[in-house]
Amino acid sequence: MTSTPRHVPVAIVGGGQAGLSVSYHLTQRGIDHLVFEKHTAAHTWATQRWDTFCLVTPNWQCDLPGHPYDGPDPDGFMKKDEIVAYLKGFVANVNPPLREGVAVTRVARAEDGLFSVRTSDGDYTANEVVVASGGYHTPIIPRMAEKLPGSITQIHSNQYRNPAQLPEGEVLVVGSGQSGAQIAEDLHLAGRAVHLAVGDAPRCARFYRGRDVVTWLADMGYYEMTIDNHPLRDGVRDNTNHYVTGRDGGRDIDLRRFATEGMNLYGVLEDYDDGSLRFRDNLKRSLDGADRTYNSINAAIDKYITENNVNAPVQAHYTPVWEPGAPVTSLTLAGTGITAIVWCIGFTPDFRWLDVSVFNGAGAPKHKRGVTQEDGVSFIGLPWLNTWGSGRFGAVGRDAEFLAQTIQKRLDAERFALKFAV
């Protein structure tokens, strides 16, 4: 006999910082809810980051609801274990109604107007569903990887832990976003011979004119800018994050400097065929583009300093320390000592379990500050949900508070309608 599904007013799918932030604000409003997490709360930070991983934003920007950073180094950058400890403290503070080890396998609108929530531990119904599972689900590994020799070790960035994990020999890192640039640096500092296939990721300075660039941008109001006011509007969601690092107190990542120290740089990896890796002839263009972004951010800071009469030391803009020579567009594996490849080209979202019409033609959630056109379905924790910090510790709490307010209004309206229904 089929058991009657348990009802909960709000079902939150995902127990990371985003889902827990919504839980915090729902609890403040006395709204009954459950948080479903298929692993353990905030597990990604502990299980899918390399050993030397650290934040790229200063600790003072960690401002989860009711749990701001209160450690001894607000201008520093928490390392992996410190991040995990911070999040465990957040979980203890929120004390959420959390169902760990429970996967949500399908959400759909039921005939009675509620949502049917199917899980690995039974069925539920809910008035509201908050999707807090993020957008980084399926690691991207291109089909060309299938053609590579079995002797080549291949892993994705979410599997990388440290240089000793890889076999002896040279390493090809594919992708130069935050993960790719930092993993290439990690291998380089460990003395490994590194080949890096460079993409179009921009970069920024760590410190400029006496302060962290993040601090300057915060003073300039950049992190308060909403997506509606951004020059690119929705297009900013497709931007690649700037590469920089908080490692060892924070510093720039300069791929050109790595090249002067022996790292081999190429353009985008396009294919592998007949024993050869084939690269696009775009290395110089990519490096120049990254530097233009770097200098344009610094120029914006210069303008702010001048307009506001800020006393700050003068600093020259970046001048390239290395220029690529004749482009290398083909590289034979037999002619190198490459024994491993680390794929750092991102993830694709997987919302197949969400059987509700809330997606655009590209398969991305269509929403306004996390609220979709389907009453009762909300998203949180996505990049630029509302501001730059929406997908990070900086502003996810504010997004969560907004969603909790929205949810409360809808639940109150539903109760009012039921009370006076004829």
Question: What's the mean pLDDT when you consider all of the chain?
Answer: 94
* Domain final residue, candidates 310, 343, 376: 343
**Cα–Cα distance for residue pair 51/15, rounded to 1 Å:** 23
Tens of pLDDT, residues 291-340? 999 999 999 999 999 999 999 999 999 999 999 999 999 999 888 999 99
Shared domain for 95 and 201, answered yes or no, is no
Q: Quote the CA–CA distance of 361 and 374 in Å, as a whole number.
A: 16
Task: Please give the Cα distance from 262 to 170 (Å, whole number).
Answer: 12
Band of pLDDT at residue 1, cut at 50, 70 and 90: very low
**What is the pTM for the complete model shown?**
0.95
Q: Residues 6 or more apart from 214 whose CB is under 8 A from it?
A: 57, 58, 61
Give per-residue pLDDT as tens, 344-401.
999 999 999 999 999 998 889 999 999 999 999 999 999 999 998 898 898 999 999 9
pLDDT tens by residue, 160-180 = 999 999 999 999 999 999 999
Res 420: pLDDT: 65
Query: What share of the chain in percent tops pLDDT 90?
Result: 87
What sign results for the dihedral spanned by CA atoms 74, 79, 83, 86?
A: negative
Instruction: Give the model confidence (pLDDT) of 239-289 as tens digits.
Output: 888 999 999 999 999 999 999 999 999 999 999 998 999 999 999 999 999
Which of 308, 343, 378 corresponds to the end of one domain? Answer: 343
pLDDT single digits (tens) 115-150: 999 999 999 999 999 999 988 889 999 999 999 999
pLDDT cut 70: percent of the chain above it: 98
pLDDT at 2 over 70: no
Rounded Cα distance, 422 and 420, in Å: 6
Whether residue 409 lies inside any domain: the answer is: yes
Q: What CATH number corresponds to the domain at position 84?
A: 3.50.50.60
Owning domain of residue 121: 6-137+349-419
Q: Has residue 259 been placed in a domain?
A: yes
Nearest 5°: CA angle at 354, between 349 and 356?
A: 120
User: What's the pLDDT at 343?
Assistant: 98
Q: What is the pLDDT of residue 330?
A: 95
Degrees to nearest 5, angle at CA 344 with 163 and 190: 20
Same domain as 221, residue 149: yes
Name the burial class of residue 186, with classes exposed (0-12), middle (13-18) and buried (19+) by CB atoms within 10 angstroms of its CB: buried
pLDDT at residue 418 tops 80:
no
Whether residue 329 sits in one domain with residue 288: yes
